[in-house]
């Protein structure tokens, strides 16, 4: 049986994330110990405000996802052996770095942590002015994609306002300058499109991230990161990253300032034979997207001991019913 594995991104964080994994699994504890005391503190005890700060959030979420991966990988091999094949991976935004680590493109947790720490810093700098005030923000719009795109085009005027995350057939995230976001909410109300402002640290995946993308490309080039050996679906194309003509520094630089085609990623995973998609990391946002996007595909998530056990049991049941 083929399954896809996906990694949670920024926005899924919460205080206490990863603590249960740390307490119950030696491999998870090893990952957190490598990440250091600061990551453990913010992951286990960080306040909402602290965990909104991009430079804090990114290494913490990355660590939780990698701990969940090590625990899930071990349980999958022990309980299902060669009965289940991971046919591909993907990660939502920041989660793409987790997928690349799991797929061997980023050679170690330590290397991955260094990259995402600097990525978070670059994005924070791009998203704030000289006084440290946020220049942009994000919102989630619920409705048909074409109607949401029409609304954005009609109201943006001279402001930066862009549809940036195509999450499911019924949800699209929008990023742009803070000054235009109240107009977006009002426009949604007039068009009967629900628009919810998001508690994010910047206008991620928009053109406002251009400065961060430039710095990130230099960093990835210095690191010598190569394409993965197994299939990793790219955020920007929803296709196998290995088939992209661009090199990894350019791919990941473009990712920081470009839309995430998550709906298409899930659809492609299913079309490529995934009978289930397992989300690793804090929360279950991506699991919800899977359920809204494809029918007949199992949707599971692993963020603690309980959900790990539920996921393994669910995969076993699916395998038995084949």
Whole-angstrom Cα distance, residue 311 to residue 73? 12
Pair 235, 96: CB distance under 8 Å: yes
Q: Is residue 2 within a helix (H) or strand (E), and if so which, with residue range?
A: strand 2-7
**Which of the following is catalytic: 98, 105, 168, 205?**
205
Contacts of 302 (CB under 8 A, 6+ apart): 68, 71, 72, 278, 279, 280, 281, 308, 311
Q: Is residue 113 within a helix (H) or strand (E), and if so which, with residue range?
A: helix 109-127
Pair 253, 220: CB distance under 8 Å: yes
Long-range contact pairs involving 30-39 (C-beta distance under 8 Å, separation at least 24):
30/70, 31/63, 31/66, 31/67, 31/70, 31/109, 32/63, 32/67, 34/109, 34/110, 34/113, 35/59, 35/63, 35/109, 35/113, 39/63, 39/113
Buried b (16+ CB within 10 A) or exposed e, 71-90: bbeebbeeebeeebebbbbb
Residues forming a β-bridge with 166: 172
* Known active-site residue 105: no
Whole-angstrom Cα distance, residue 14 to residue 4? 24
* Known active-site residue 205: yes
**Which of the following is catalytic: 93, 98, 105, 168?**
93
Whole-angstrom Cα distance, residue 83 to residue 81? 6
Alpha helices, H only, 205-304: 210-223, 248-257, 262-271, 285-293
Q: Which residues are part of the catalytic machinery? A: 93, 205
């Amino acid at each position: 049986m083929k399954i896809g594995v996906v990694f949670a991104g920024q926005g899924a964080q919460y205080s206490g994330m990863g603590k249960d994994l740390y307490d119950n699994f030696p491999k998870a504890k090893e990952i957190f110990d490598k990440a250091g005391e600061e990551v453990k503190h913010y992951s286990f005890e960080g306040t909402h405000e602290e965990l909104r700060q991009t430079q804090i959030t990114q290494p913490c979420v990355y660590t939780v996802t990698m701990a969940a991966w090590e625990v899930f990988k071990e349980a999958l091999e022990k309980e299902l052996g060669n009965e289940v094949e991971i046919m591909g991976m993907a990660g939502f935004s920041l989660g793409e770095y987790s997928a690349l680590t799991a797929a061997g493109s980023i050679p170690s947790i330590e290397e991955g942590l260094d990259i995402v720490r600097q990525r978070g810093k670059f994005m924070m700098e791009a998203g704030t002015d000289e006084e440290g005030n946020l220049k942009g923000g994000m919102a989630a719009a619920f409705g048909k994609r074409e109607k949401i795109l029409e609304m954005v085009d009609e109201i943006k005027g001279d402001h930066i306002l862009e549809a940036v995350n195509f999450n499911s057939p019924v949800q699209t995230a929008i990023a742009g300058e803070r000054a235009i976001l109240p107009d977006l909410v009002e426009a949604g109300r007039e068009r009967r499109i629900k628009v919810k402002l998001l508690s994010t640290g910047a206008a991620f995946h928009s053109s406002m991230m251009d400065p961060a993308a430039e710095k990130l490309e230099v960093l990835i080039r210095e690191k010598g990161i190569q394409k993965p050996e197994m299939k990793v679906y790219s955020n920007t194309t929803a296709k196998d990253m290995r088939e992209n003509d661009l090199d990894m520094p350019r791919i990941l630089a473009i990712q920081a300032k470009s839309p995430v085609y998550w709906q298409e990623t899930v659809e492609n995973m299913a079309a490529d034979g995934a009978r289930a998609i397992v989300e690793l990391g804090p929360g279950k946002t991506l699991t919800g997207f899977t359920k809204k996007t494809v029918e007949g595909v199992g949707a599971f998530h692993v963020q603690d001991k309980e959900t790990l056990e539920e996921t393994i049991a669910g995969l076993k049941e699916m395998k038995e019913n084949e």
